[in-house]
Amino acid sequence: MTLAVHTAHISYPGPDRLDVSRGVFCPSAGPHVVLDADEYVQEMRDLYRRDRGQFDALLQAPRVVLVCSCLRPDRCHRTVLARILTRLGARYYGEIESWDTTVEEPLFARRSA
């Protein structure tokens, strides 16, 4: 089964939400500190090497909605994390606006060799 990844504002109420403004997927500088995407990617690489089980457990779910309180998803680590997960085999279906959970067209998918 391929993990379906969505992103949303923290107000998204669904049972499949994962708050990435805290916990292992939160940037070390905090969720509201402007962090260069490359720095966050490096933090996630380090986490993957140190504790791959965090990623493996997430990839076993059928669907996850990565949530954070940032108002601009294009500048938020939740979107960067979604793209990282696509490199591990997940499919990213984009930001949920107004909690529209019917979107199932992937924006990013792992490329076949």
Max CA-CA distance within the chain? 38
Instruction: Tell me the whole-structure pTM to 2 decimals.
Output: 0.83
Sequence spans of domains, the chain: 4-109
- Cα distance between residue 41 and residue 24, in whole Å: 13
In sequence order, the 6+-apart residues with CB closer than 8 A to the CB of 38 are none
- Top-confidence range, 22-26, 63-67, 97-101, 103-107: 63-67
Please report the pLDDT score of residue 98 as a whole number: 60
**Measured CA angle at 17 (ends 85, 92), to 5 deg:** 30
Over residues 51-93, the pLDDT tens digits come to 999 999 999 999 999 999 888 888 889 999 999 999 999 999 9
Query: Measuring CA to CA, how many Å separate 71 from each of 7, 19, 35, 83, 98?
Result: 12, 14, 15, 18, 13
